[in-house]
Amino acid sequence: MSVSANNLANEIIKALTEYTDEVRAEIQQAQDELSDDGVQMLKASSPADTGKYASSWKRKKTKTGYVIYNEKYYRLTHLLENGHAKRGGGRVAARVHIRPVEQRLVEQFERRVEGAIRP
């Protein structure tokens, strides 16, 4: 069976398009699931004085993926995560709760992308 150069090129393009669409769909699914998991992990691991800060974690879909953010207390996230100076002197210790969730999500996302790319 002989295949002309044009037909071969068309078949290669078709196969690559199908592969790209499958990979794109799997990556979008991973983004959706992991961003939802991230919000739940942040709600569970956030400092809970009254619970308002922890319950304010949300996610928003963007052109390229998702953003996880604290809807009401976004100014507080930096102060809690990194610590801050007190008004009368001294420092408030950092209460690291965002970085571990971020690292876990990045590792899981990388694993899922690698799995999507490899057949």
pLDDT tens figures, 59-111: 999 999 999 999 999 898 999 999 999 998 999 999 999 999 999 999 999 99
On whether the CB atoms of residues 81 and 97 are closer than 8 A, the answer is yes
User: Does the pLDDT of residue 58 top 60, yes or no?
Assistant: yes
Per-residue model confidence (pLDDT) at position 37? 96
Q: Please state, in angstroms and rounded to a whole number, the distance separating the CA atoms of residues 112 and 95.
A: 29
Q: Render pLDDT for 23-55 as a digit per residue (tens, 0 to 9).
A: 999 999 999 999 999 999 999 999 887 789 999
Mean pLDDT of 4-20: 82
Is-contact 5 65, C-beta < 8 A? no
pLDDT of residue 99: 96
Buried b (16+ CB within 10 A) or exposed e, 35-48: beebbebbbebbee
Query: Side-chain half-sphere of 41: how many Cα atoms within 13 Å?
Result: 16
Residues 6+ apart with CB under 8 A from 16: none
Bridge partners (DSSP) listed for residue 60: 67
- Cβ pair 77, 94 in contact under 8 A: no
Of the candidates 47, 31, 33, the one whose C-alpha atom is nearest the C-alpha of residue 98 is 47
CB 50: neighbour CB atoms within 10 A? Answer: 7
